[in-house]
Amino acid sequence: KAGVTQTPRYLIKTRGQQVTLSCSPISGHRSVSWYQQTPGQGLQFLFEYFSETQRNKGNFPGRFSGRQFSNSRSEMNVSTLELGDSALYLCASSPDLAPNNEQFFGPGTRLTVL
């Protein structure tokens, strides 16, 4: 099976712009989670989608949004970018929401905001 893929891998944007990141989960996985990783804050949970519905949301401003499509692929969008949004954005998929399911991570998208 192919692993989790994320596109693009690297992105440079300027303040005020918006960005869309894409994540394709492992085939058959219905849960997709997004995380922001920065040196200062570690891994912060953004949101989780399951069967096209947002199940959980982390403590991020409304500029951060996401969605999931019927094929389980997911996108996250950040509007009005700020310098502090520079981070590695990780996507992870799992078969469902069971607590015993590990999450499989993609390689991440490294976003730099100038």
Partner 1 sequence: AQKITQTQPGMFVQEKEAVTLDCTYDTSDPSYGLFWYKQPSSGEMIFLIYQGSYDQQNATEGRYSLNFQKARKSANLVISASQLGDSAMYFCAMREGWGNNNDMRFGAGTRLTVKP
**Which residues are near partner 1 by CB under 8 A?**
33, 35, 42-43, 45, 48, 55-56, 58, 88, 90, 92, 97-105, 107-108, 110
| Separation between Cα atoms, residue 62 and residue 78, nearest integer Å | 9
**What residues contact 36, with CB distance under 8 A and at least 6 apart?**
43, 44, 46, 60, 87, 88, 89, 90
Our CB check for partner 1 shows the closer of 15 and 55 to be 55
| Separation between Cα atoms, residue 103 and residue 50, nearest integer Å | 13
Our CB check for partner 1 shows the closer of 16 and 54 to be 54
**What minimum distance in Å lies between the beta carbon of 31 and partner 1?**
10
Our CB check for partner 1 shows the closer of 79 and 103 to be 103
| Separation between Cα atoms, residue 19 and residue 104, nearest integer Å | 23
**What minimum distance in Å lies between the beta carbon of 106 and partner 1?**
8
**What minimum distance in Å lies between the beta carbon of 59 and partner 1?**
11
